[in-house]
Structure 1
Amino acid sequence: MKLTRSVFLAAVSAGFVSLPAHATENGQVRALLGGPAQELSSPQFPGWYGQVWLQHYRANKVRDDQGRTNVATLGGQAVRLQPKIEATVLVPRVTYISELRYLEGRVGASVSLPIVHQRNSIDFSGPLPPAALAAAGDARSGSKSGLGDAEISTFLDWQTDDYRLVGSLGVVAPTGAYDKDRAVNPGAGDFWTLRPGLVAAYVWENGFEVGSRTTYSFNTRNRDTDVRSGQYLHSDFSGLYRLNDTTRVGLQGFVLKQTTRDSGPGVASHGNEVQSLGLGPLVGYTSEDGRWAAEVKVLREFSVRNRPQGTISYLRLQLRLD
């Protein structure tokens, strides 16, 4: 982790974030954790689609490399953290599925651009002068709003009545504002992410359906900090049951696992390898004509390492545009 304030005399064991849906060096990833669900196993016909995710994240725990909660080292002394991390992220996305086929799969593309508002409030307590503790907390606290980092993806989509497979290749560009000396940033930094992915889903006649979207991310070096964030696996999955033609209920989850260490100036010896799992209930609705859909879900994080642990709430809308 790149420390940006001299008041931090020793590396804080826990990984701080700038945005739970974005970033990497500070315990985050460029990924919408738990985002896709019922659309994974829903038919996607040629045409234009608009999607909007509204995500709210709240955390008051930060876990370190050993899973300890809200512990840090400051000036050579063990101190406690009292973090309050909150973010609201609006993610518009446009998807196009063409009539063109390659290897029997339909060719498509999508573009998404997050809009971020985040607030971090970090307090310290421990055997240090109150002024030093207050200064350390102020250095890691703040709020910021703005555009995040845009993702452009191309894909091939294979569908039958029973299953769906989608192979994709995405690129995340550093379009969001970023300042290495600022505690909170809408963007992750001045680097690019290359992201291959695979969607797999299956539907049974008895009403059950499962779907997953798995990606693997490669990051270039952040030119602002000279830190290269490690590679990571991110998989969203859902298990749903169709109550009728319009309503689904079930579970949504995700797995996040960093597989290689961060590298560069100031990186901790454990490489800041992040990990998080999430799981929670979902309710989805699709209109009778299939032109629009909505879903609500709440996911709790667990088994977390080197990042905050909190709750993610979603409202998602999808609309056929043509």
Structure 2
Amino acid sequence: MRKTSTAILLALSVALPSSMARADEGGISFWLPGQFGALAAVPTEPGWAFPLIYYHANADIGANEPLTRGGRGRIAAGVDAKADLLFGGPTYTFADPLLGGQATLSLIAAVGRSEADVEATLSGPRGNTISTQVSDSLKGGSDLYGMGTLKWNHGVHNFMVYGMGNLPVGAYDPDRLVNLGLGHAALDGGGGYTYFDKRNEFSAVAGMTYNWENNDTDYQNGIDVHLDLSASHFVTEQTHVGLVGYVYQQVAGDSGSGAVLGDFKSRVTAVGPQVGHFFKVGKDLWYANLKGYNEFDAKNRAEGWNLWLTLAIPLSSEP
């Protein structure tokens, strides 16, 4: 069991600190809820690793719930949006302790496609129609996202802190209905806890996001808080099953001359299943995880479902 547990932690070192986000405004946050999952705070084996994460989202919002979309004060109603993104990037876990804990750095980016169908776009808050039944789609790359974590272990109790930010270099045009880049900088930070007794785990990670102003649209998203949750049971030494969930709540309103709908505070909650499995590739132990979220109780934000498929690839470990 000790050998298996060590190998599991090596695989999780690339699976868990997955840094990803998507475009701001329009009821969509910098922080992509669901980033943290099973065993989020458990320290891992030192060395290099590479995560690959396929993310699919399908969400919509009714015609009676307008959103700012595409910048320039444009308001969209009746939005049906889809996204398919593949994230990846190197992760390195240090062997030497930092402040008594284990430090990990990740650098992540994505390529993919996003599309949106809109029933109507309006020129401003008075509802003057510019066009109806418009669509937009975009293929390209995302911003560059960096994350650092610091983890401590005390028996079955594990603790962590993290910080995450972006370099806004992705595909972005303020006149488009969809974008893969954020259009501005943002910073997120928080902490988490995992209970893990080798058979059962429970993880909770909470954080807060600050957004800088988007100079192209004169729009600054407000501060939000979020909580990612996971609970699972190892039915064998290689396979675990359970539930995941998240809660997202904006606590400070949007601002700037582009925020034509006012503070526009948004929220959403989600829950769904997960399954994870560890398997040998040569001498290395890889990890695959599939999890899905069904959203509800959304406000000022599109509501739907999303799917995550993670493949954790160990590259090397410290002797």
TM-score, normalisation: structure 2 = 0.81
The residue that corresponds to 2:145 in the other structure is 151
- 1:199 counterpart residue number: 192
The counterpart of 2:218, out of the listed 223, 226, 231, is 226
Partner deviation per Cα, 1:169-224 (whole Å, 9 max, x = no partner)? 222121112111111111121x211111213111135x221012222111111111
Q: Give the distance between the partners of 2:112 and 2:221, measured in 1 at CA.
A: 21
Instruction: Write the letter of the residue equivalent to 2:291.
Output: K
SS of match in other structure, 2:94: strand
The residue correspondences of 1:200-219 to structure 2 (distance < 5 A) are 200-204=193-197, 207-219=199-211
Does residue 306 of structure 1 match 2:280? no
* Structure 2 residues not aligned, in runs of 5+: 1-19, 68-75, 122-127
Change (3 A) 1:133 1:265: closer
Task: Measure, in 2, the Cα distance between the counterparts of 1:134 and 1:173.
Answer: 33
Please tell me the residue identity of whatever aligns with 2:49: Y
CA displacement 1:241-280 (0-9 Å, x = unmatched) = 1101001000011111111111011424541211111100
SS in 2 for 1:45: coil
- Aligned partners of 1:43 and 1:87: how far apart in 2? 32
Aligned position for 2:102: 106
Write out the 4+ residue segments of structure 1 that deviate beyond 3 Å after TM superposition: 80-83
Paired residue for 1:279? 271
Moved more, 244-253 or 39-48: 39-48
CA distance in 2, matches of 1:153, 1:315: 20
Pairwise CA distance, 1:100: 2.1
The one-letter code sitting in structure 2 at the alignment partner of 1:87 is A
What are the within-5 Å matches in structure 2 for residues 225-304 of structure 1?
Answer: 225-287=217-279, 291-304=285-298
User: Whole-Å Cα distance in 1 between the matches of residues 32 and 110 of structure 2?
Assistant: 10
- Are the aligned partners of 2:165 and 2:187 in contact in 1 as well (CA < 8 Å)? yes
- Residues of 1 paired with 2:43 and 2:288: CA distance? 15
- Residue identity matched to 2:181: G
1:83–1:195 distance in 2 versus 1, CA, 3 Å: closer
What per-residue deviation string (whole Å, max 9, x for no partner) do you get for residues 142-176 of structure 1?
00011112211222221244122221222212111
Deviates more, 1:30-39 or 1:101-110: 30-39
Q: Give RMSD over aligned pairs.
A: 2.5
Cα deviation per residue 1:270-293 (whole Å; 9 max; x = unaligned)?
412111111001111123677211
Instruction: Report the alpha carbon displacement of residue 39 of structure 1 after superposing the two structures with TM.
Output: 4.4
Which stretch has the larger CA shift, 145-154 or 35-44? 35-44
- Counterparts of residues 69-108 of structure 1 (less than 5 Å): 69-72=62-65, 82-108=78-104
Q: Does the 8 A contact of 2:41 with 2:160 survive in 1?
A: no
- Whether the 8 Å CA contact 2:107–2:145 is kept in 1: the answer is yes
Q: Could you say which residue in structure 2 is the equivalent of 1:175? A: 169
CA contact (8 A) 2:66 2:77 kept: no
292-301 or 163-172: bigger deviation: 163-172
Structure 1 position 107, deviation (Å): 2.3
Instruction: Tell me the amino acid that sits aligned with residue 83 of structure 2.
Output: A
Q: Do the aligned residues in 2 keep the contact of 1:41 with 1:164 (CA within 8 Å)?
A: yes
Which residue identity is paired with 2:44?
Q
Asked whether the equivalents of residues 39 and 201 of structure 2 are also in contact (C-alpha less than 8 Å), the reply is no
